[in-house]
Amino acid sequence: MNTCSRAPTVSAIVRPPGEGERFERASRVVTIKVDLPEISIHEIEFDPTFEVPPHTHDHVDAMLVLDGEIELLGDMHGRRVGPGTIVGAPPGPSTASATQVPRARLLILHAPDGGFSAMVRGT
């Protein structure tokens, strides 16, 4: 039995590997995979010099480590995690920052998007 009575407002977004809006930055490459008001999904490849500063967010922030390792800072006390690890943070002060050791690729989810995709685009 289908319990979803609401009709979809947009078609499903399907992005094969390597596809999406790609933005090259000084220390990373960000590819927007999904950009909806309710959720955005980005693939981020980090260069060895990239570090996420402590921050506060008003959305759910989650990441899946695809390749390499990241070092979680803040209340995670320098814990290193590798491929397959999921990190989730509720809205509020950042509970962790990340730096790749020595290179990493992550899938980042923001729910709701909260303007992250626009920031990546520079709009």
At 97-111, the pLDDT tens digits run 677 777 789 999 998
- Rounded to two decimals, the pTM is 0.80
Task: Examine the pLDDT at 18 and tell me if it is beyond 60.
Answer: yes
Q: What is the pLDDT of residues 29-70, one digit of tens each?
A: 999 999 999 999 999 998 877 777 777 878 888 999 999 888
Rounded to whole angstroms, how far apart are CA atoms 35 and 21? 10
pLDDT of residue 46: 86
Pick among 3.30.360.10, 2.30.30.30, 2.60.120.10, 3.10.20.70: CATH of 28-121: 2.60.120.10
Query: Residue 86 in contact with residue 122, Cβ under 8 Å?
Result: no
Paired residues of 67 in beta bridges: 105
Compute the C-alpha angle 102/25/42, nearest 5°. 80
- Extract the tokens encoding 72: 């979680």
| Interatomic CA distance for residues 71 and 9, integer angstroms | 39
